[in-house]
């Protein structure tokens, strides 16, 4: 039905676009330059650990509707694990203090009235300024809208915003922070129960997508890097891959879902963020203690979040530019010290470990970088953009990537008669 749609890039944005198009019966060709699909959301067998690990730990929330729609289409929504309700376990490794945040399901946040549900040492009035984030914030930084200090900031807002923005939270975009509040905290606990892909990102997001695409007859070309895209004033004309020039027929179209640092070279004149922030993940080959929470927020340590998997404990440091160049052995030791404190493993020797560094994990979610995000629609009527770095209204998250793929598919679908 109609012409071919070439999707360039098989990260989550490209995969979600290809899946949406294939489900609509379109003829799709998916082209990926790397040796595997998934982009920055991938899994691999690590030789040091002798097991499959993820390159990063991506937290998903129960209210991320595009993510859950995508996984339901793939039949893999059961590969997200986490507490049934919105429960957030925290541990301050400086003094060993522990608490569990227990929001109620509905939008009226009465949980802040209960001492045993809210953040320790906070009061009801501390939460009221968050209402400011429900309004549009333009180019303000978060520190210009709310107070970035005190127990509520240190024990809840900063950890959540740092994880979502992957940028020093106080300097991050208040507009993006507001989007998080509007879609989660303001909706109620039913929208922000935490989830993590289990057993792996590949098992939840990537392998099922490739299987669906194969079943729909999609031509998937891995390890084929697009080197150039030809355009005129109004449409994409073709592209070059592996030295081969491929021309687009009049009824063909393209979705370009390549990274922010690649796309402007393929499409001169397209704006894109050009500053990026790193994430560091540490993996330890050890079964978590029986009954250990699936997800624990860490306050005052090197690690920021711990994730418990079968045979593996994983840690994440977001906004990690200040520590990304730390020697790997030193970083592993610091992260293991946090793991041991949180899980009560004092005296246990550090097990086999691996440190994974993503230096350009996301664009820097500051107001000036947000202003460089392009829209999905372009001046070329048969070409749309996708990627978590495009103007999704969200930070560079799994939800943002998948929404961008769906948006791009929605732009192209009406063209295909």
DSSP structure string for 234-257: SSEEEEEETTEEEEPPTT-EEEE-
- Identify the pLDDT of residue 185: 87
User: Which helix H or strand E contains 405, and what residues bound it?
Assistant: helix 398-412
DSSP structure string for 19-57: HHHHHTT-EEEEEESSSSSBTTS-EEEETTTTEEEESS-
- Identify the pLDDT of residue 416: 83
Residue 378 corresponds to which tokens in the numbers above?
Answer: 């372009």
- Could you tell me the end-to-end alpha-carbon distance of the chain, in angstroms, rounded to an integer? 7
**Peptide bond preceding 57 in cis form (omega within 30 of 0):** no
Question: Strand runs (DSSP E) across 110-243, as ranges?
Answer: 194-197, 219-222, 226-231, 236-241
CATH for 44-82+195-200+276-363, options being 3.40.50.970, 3.40.50.1970, 3.40.50.12500, 3.90.660.10: 3.90.660.10
Q: CB neighbours (10 Å) of residue 220?
A: 19
Cβ proximity of 316 and 304 under 8 Å: yes
CA angle, residues 185, 78, 35, in degrees to nearest 5: 100
- Identify the pLDDT of residue 2: 75
- Identify the pLDDT of residue 417: 67
> Which parts of the chain have pLDDT scores under 50?
none
Q: What are phi and psi of 111, to 5 degrees?
A: -60, -25
Residue 196 corresponds to which tokens in the numbers above?
Answer: 């993590």
Specify which residues 297 forms β-bridges with: 90, 305
361: left (phi over 0), alpha (psi -120 to 50) or beta: alpha
For the chain, give the longest Cα–Cα distance: 68
What are the residues whose beta carbons fall under 8 Å from the beta carbon of 374, sequence distance 6 or more? 270, 271, 272, 385, 390, 391
Would you kindly state where each structural domain of the chain is located, as residue ranges?
A: 4-35+223-274+366-415, 44-82+195-200+276-363, 122-191
Helices and strands of the chain, counted as H and E runs: 12, 20
Residue 172 corresponds to which tokens in the numbers above?
Answer: 């991050």
What are the residues whose beta carbons fall under 8 Å from the beta carbon of 291, sequence distance 6 or more? none
Alpha-carbon distance values, 105 to 139, 189, 279, 374 (Å): 32, 4, 31, 35
Architecture of domain 4-35+223-274+366-415: 3-Layer(bba) Sandwich (3.50)
Residue 290 corresponds to which tokens in the numbers above?
Answer: 């029986």
Which among 250, 82, 85, 88 has a CA at the least distance from the CA of 163?
Answer: 88
Query: CA-to-CA distance for 32 and 266, rounded, in angstroms?
Result: 14
Residue 1 corresponds to which tokens in the numbers above?
Answer: 């039905």
Residue 350 corresponds to which tokens in the numbers above?
Answer: 């550090």
Sign of the torsion angle spanned by Cα atoms 105, 179, 259, 1: positive
């Amino acid at each position: 039905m109609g012409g071919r749609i070439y999707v360039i890039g098989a990260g989550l944005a490209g995969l979600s676009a290809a899946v949406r198009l294939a489900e609509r019966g379109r003829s799709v060709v998916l082209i990926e330059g790397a040796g595997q699909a998934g982009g920055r959301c991938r899994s691999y067998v690590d030789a040091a650990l002798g097991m499959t690990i993820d390159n990063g730990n991506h937290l998903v929330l129960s209210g991320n509707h595009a993510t859950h729609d995508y996984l339901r289409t793939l039949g893999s929504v059961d590969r997200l694990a986490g507490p049934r309700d919105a429960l957030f376990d925290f541990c301050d490794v400086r003094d060993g203090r522990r608490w569990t945040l227990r929001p109620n399901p509905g939008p009226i946040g009465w949980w802040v009235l209960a001492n045993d549900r809210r953040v320790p040492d906070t009061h009801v009035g501390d939460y009221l300024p968050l209402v400011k984030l429900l309004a549009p914030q333009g180019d303000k930084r978060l520190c210009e809208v709310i107070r970035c200090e005190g127990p509520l900031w240190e024990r809840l807002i900063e950890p959540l915003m740092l994880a979502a923005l992957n940028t020093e939270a106080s300097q991050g975009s208040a507009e993006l922070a507001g989007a998080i509040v509007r879609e989660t905290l303001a909706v109620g606990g039913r929208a922000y129960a935490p989830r993590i892909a289990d057993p792996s990102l590949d098992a939840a997001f990537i392998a099922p997508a490739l299987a669906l695409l194969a079943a729909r007859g999609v031509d998937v070309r891995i390890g084929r890097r697009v080197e150039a895209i030809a355009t005129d004033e109004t449409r994409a004309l073709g592209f070059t891959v592996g030295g081969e020039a491929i021309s687009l027929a009049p009824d063909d179209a393209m979705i370009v879902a390549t990274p922010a640092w690649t796309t402007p070279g393929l499409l001169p004149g397209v704006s894109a963020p050009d500053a990026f922030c790193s994430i560091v993940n540490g993996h330890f080959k050890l079964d978590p203690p029986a009954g250990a929470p699936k997800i624990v927020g860490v306050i005052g340590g090197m690690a920021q979040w711990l994730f418990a998997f079968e045979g593996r404990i994983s840690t994440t440091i977001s906004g990690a530019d200040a520590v990304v160049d730390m020697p790997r052995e030193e970083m592993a030791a610091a992260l293991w010290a946090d793991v041991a404190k949180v899980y009560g493993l004092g005296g246990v020797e550090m097990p086999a470990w691996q440190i994974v560094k993503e230096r350009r994990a996301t664009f820097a979610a500051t107001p000036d970088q947000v202003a460089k995000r392009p829209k999905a629609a372009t001046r070329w009527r048969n070409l749309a953009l996708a990627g978590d770095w495009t103007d999704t209204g969200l930070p560079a998250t799994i939800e943002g990537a998948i929404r961008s793929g769906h948006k791009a598919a929605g732009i192209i679908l009406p063209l295909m008669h």
